[in-house]
Amino acid sequence: MLTDYEWQALALSLKVSSVAVAASLPVGILVAWVLAKKEFWGKSLLNSVVHLPLVLPPVVTGYLLLLLFSRNGMLGQPLQQWFGLSFAFSWQGAALAAAVVAFPLMVRAIRQAFENVDPKLEQAARTLGASPFKVFYTISLPLVYPGILAGMVLAFARSLGEFGATITFVSNIPEQTQTLPLAMFSFIETPGAESEAARLCIIAIVLSITALLASEWLLRRNHQERR
Amino acid sequence: MLSLKISKQLGQCALDFHCDLPGHGVIGVFGVSGSGKTSLINMIAGLITPDSGSITFAGQCFFDGNKGLNLAPERRRIGYVFQDARLFPHYTVQGNLLYGCPKEEQDKLSEVVELLGIAHLLSRFPEQLSGGEKQRVAIGRALLTQPEMLLMDEPLAALDQPRKQELLPYLKRIAKRSQIPILYVTHQQQELLQLVDELLVVSDGQVACQGTLEEVWNSPAMLPWQQAEGVSSLLLAKVMQQDERHGMTPLSLAPECHLWSSEVSLAPEQQVRLKVAAKDVALSRSKPEGTSMRNIVAATITDIEVLAQQQVMVSLNLAEQVIKAQITLWAQQEMKLQVGEQVYALIKGINLQGVAL
């Protein structure tokens, strides 16, 4: 049904988005919790930095990533040296770009969920002998589960659609960094490839709807368990 | 014993509590809304940190402002029953009950479940419980942590009248069986009469009065509350052997001094609390003969206070307890009543309170 080329782009998109979401989730939960529950000096600065990718033009985000994570970049060089981790022109780089761009959406959803957790329940848990850590993983975390799910879906969808920062940071290399949107861009640029572009367009729509339905189903199941 | 010397500024409200509370029994914390009752027990529980002072319970220091010591709430071993139950929505009733229960104590579950009558609820989620059921689960959850003190913040306040009636017997049962002190916050006189032994009246962030329920009830600190439903006195009495012939039970205040109650189902030797409205007490210089009244006792006048609207409140010493009689100024002047004189108190009605029938 799908050509090899389409499969490649689809598989790469799914891999890049999944890795982007999975790798940024622990950090996202931590940052969301800190922003929702803690008061500290520099909180609004942290908040602004987290939200920056949401308001910056993606090309600027991509350019900054290039500065930081290229082979000679401030972070790219030590990461390569110490961990053998290279982001430049690889699918890992595409995942990093997707994660950074989707991060604010993930944090916003989870943060809101944390803010909705009644602090009275957390107080009650403390009087029942629970340490703050136990309160976090037995009360707060389970109660924000729907928010985490929503954040993951949003971040996944945003990652699937990521274009500007990716093409700037890791370029458009088939099998390496050419995700669905980038593949589609290539077809649109190629004269006479309108039908190929349209097929990719349909694949993208089906993929997004599937992700949304899956999250709906998970949320409903979570709610039913409590009845 | 719980020793409190704490002060705290909460917005406009300055709290300053100095008191020593007994290490057993049910201690009522009574006062109007906003008087600082809940803040007081939140400081004891460690949910609010005082600005200065100290909190010591049974030899253990919970808080000491000078030493910078502040024990975390989870290490104070205090059970807390909140007004709004605060059950965890994502745990079943059983999960809630066992949340703070140490592994080696989990066999106590069945005992607590039976005490509170919640066996049929164990697999439900809080969402499916009534207000009264939620509160019972919350009480069980606090008891199962094996606390050394129990705090209850108006556990009945959020419930409607039928639910209150449903929960009250359970509270009485717990109050009776409890080996640990219970601090019971309320602004309902009725709950005090049913549950409390010792009473702390809180007003404007301070302790206004403290003592046994009878002492505090008859003190001026309770006057603002008594005015609404009429002044009354509380007496402690012991149930004696029932008089089968007349179907009445004598309640002894002292040897040779007793009042009669028509309640016949009382177990002998138990202590009961009697509430007597001041308007139900009449006075007489001589012991009336040929009267239908059964409760006529000798008492000594300790205080005479003239009230508004030609009324007089006479306080009397009745077997070392206080009883009040509200009579007219006309009667007082005609009888020429003086402090220190002996008179007969004619008691028309007595209300038994807080009796496990």
Give B-chain residues touching A226 at CB under 8 angstroms. 89-90, 125, 127
Long-range contacts from B291-296, C-beta under 8 angstroms, 24+ separation = B291/B346, B293/B346, B293/B347, B293/B348, B294/B248, B294/B260, B295/B259, B295/B260, B295/B346, B295/B347, B295/B348, B295/B350, B296/B344, B296/B345, B296/B346, B296/B347
Question: In the numeric block, which tokens belong to residue A115?
Answer: 């803010």
Q: Is the pLDDT of residue A63 over 90?
A: yes
Does the CB of B39 have a partner CB in chain A at under 8 Å? Answer: no
- Residue B49: how many CA atoms within 13 Å on its side-chain side? 8
If contacts are CB pairs under 8 Å, which of residues 92-151 in chain B contact chain A?
99-100, 125, 127-128, 141-142, 145
The residue of chain B nearest to residue A130, with distances taken between CA atoms, is B74
Count of domains forming chain A: 1
Domain boundary among B227, B245, B269: B227
B54 contact partners, CB below 8 Å, separation of at least 6: B3, B5, B6, B61, B63, B64, B65, B66
CATH of the domain at A211: 1.10.3720.10
Distance from CA of A145 to the nearest CA of B (A): 11
Same domain, B197 and B287: no
- The residue behind tokens 């520099």 is A42
Residues B86 and B221 in one domain: yes
Task: Determine the Cα–Cα distance for residues B143 and B114; give it in Å rounded to an integer.
Answer: 13
Q: Can you give the pLDDT at residue B160?
A: 81
Q: Which domain holds residue B24?
A: 2-227
Which neighbouring-strand residues pair with B206?
Answer: B16, B203
* Model pLDDT, residue A94: 93
Please tell me whether residue A87 adopts helix, strand or coil conformation. Answer: coil
| Nearest residue in chain B measured CA to CA from A126 | B74
The mean pLDDT of A115-128, rounded to a whole number, is 93
CB contact under 8 A, A128 and B141: yes
Contact B86 A226 (CB under 8 A): no
> Token match 């017997």: residue?
B169
Closest by alpha carbon to B93, among B122, B131, B118? B122
What is the structure's pLDDT at B33? Answer: 83
Among B92, B99, B128, most A C-beta atoms within 10 A, so best to mutate, is B99
Q: In B, residues 62-101, which contact A (CB 8 Å cutoff)?
A: 72-74, 77-80, 82, 84, 86, 88-90, 99-100
Question: What are the chain A neighbours of B74 within 8 Å (beta carbons)?
Answer: 126-131
Q: Per the structure block, which two tokens stand in for B66?
A: 């000078």
B185 and B267 both lie in a single domain? no
Write the DSSP assignment of A54-75 as a string of letters. HHS-HHHHHHHHHHHHSTTSTT
Considering only CB atoms, B90 lies closest to which of A128, A129, A142, namely A142
Tell me how far apart the alpha carbons of residues B52 and A178 are, in angstroms, rounded to a whole number: 64
Who has greater pLDDT, B266 or A176?
A: A176
- Given B45, B88, B128, which is nearest A127 (Cβ)? B45
Is residue B253 domain-shared with residue B295, that is, in the same domain?
yes
> Quick one: B83 and B190 in the same domain?
yes
Left, alpha or beta for B256 (phi > 0: left; psi -120 to 50: alpha)? left
- Distance between CA atoms of B284 and B141, rounded to whole angstroms? 55
Mean pLDDT value across residues A13-20: 94
Instruction: Compute the distance between CA of residue B218 and CA of residue B320 in angstroms, rounded to an integer.
Output: 13
pLDDT value of position B185? 92
Nearest residue in B to A129, CA atom: B74
Q: Is A176 a residue whose pLDDT tops 60? A: yes
Of the candidates B196, B227, B258, which is a domain's last residue?
B227
Å between A108 CA and nearest CA of chain B: 23
C-alpha A120, offset from chain centre: 31
Chain B residue numbers touching A118 (CB-CB < 8 A): 86
Q: Verify whether the Cβ–Cβ distance B145 to A120 is below 8 Å.
A: no
B147 and B37 in one domain?
yes
pLDDT for position A128: 94
> Which SS3 state, helix, strand or coil, does residue A31 take?
helix
Of all residues in chain A, the one with the smallest CA distance to B93 is: A226
Nearest to A226 among B82, B127, B142 (CB): B127
Size of interface A-B (CB pairs under 8 A): 58
- Which range, of A55-64, A96-105, B192-201, averages the lowest pLDDT? B192-201
pLDDT along chain B (357 residues), means of 10: 88 88 88 86 91 90 89 91 92 93 86 88 91 90 91 87 82 83 88 86 87 83 74 84 81 82 77 84 85 85 84 85 87 84 85 62
Q: Are B288 and B270 in contact (CB under 8 A)?
A: no
Bigger pLDDT: A31 or B343? Answer: A31
* Partner-chain contact B100 A128, CB within 8 Å: yes
**Three-state DSSP class for residue B309:** coil
A152 lies in which domain range?
Answer: 4-225
Q: Are B68 and B54 in contact (CB under 8 A)?
A: no
In this structure, the answer to whether residues B74 and B195 fall within a common structural domain is: yes
pLDDT (0 to 100) of residue B357: 37
Domain count, chain B: 2
Q: Tell me which residue of A145, A146, A178 sits closest to A162, measured CA to CA.
A: A178
* Residues contacting A6, CB < 8 A, separation 6+: A183, A199, A200, A203
pLDDT at B96: 94
Q: What angle do CA A205, A210, A211 make, to 5 degrees?
A: 100
Q: CA of B104, closest CA in chain A: separation in Å? A: 15
Give me the pLDDT at residue B355, please: 57
CB contact under 8 A, B88 and A127: no
Residues B290 and B216 reside in one and the same domain: no
* CATH number of residue B151's parent domain: 3.40.50.300
CATH number of the domain to which B265 belongs = 2.40.50.100
By C-alpha distance, the chain B residue nearest A223 is B90
Please provide the average confidence, as pLDDT, over all residues in chain A: 89
Find, among B340, B292, B283, the residue nearest to B312 by Cα: B283
Distance, in Å, from the CA atom of B204 to the CA atom of B36, rounded to the nearest integer, reads 7
The whole-number pLDDT of residue A24 equals 95
What is the least distance, in Å, from the CA of B80 to any CA of chain A?
6
Please state, in angstroms and rounded to a whole number, the distance separating the CA atoms of residues B346 and B341.
16
| H helix runs in A38-144, sequence order | 43-55, 58-69, 76-83, 91-116, 119-127, 132-135, 141-143
Q: Are residues B222 and B281 in the same domain?
A: no
* A18 has a pLDDT exceeding 80: yes
Same domain assignment for residues B261 and B211: no
- Per-residue pLDDT, B292: 84
Name, in order, each residue with C-beta under 8 angstroms of A166's C-beta and a sequence gap of 6 or more: A62, A94, A97, A98, A177, A179, A181, A182
Element containing residue B254 per DSSP (H, E): strand B249-254
Residue B148 Cα, gap to closest chain A Cα (Å): 12
Per cent of chain A over pLDDT 90 is 55
pLDDT of A224: 67
- Last residue of one domain, picked from the residues B227, B250, B269: B227
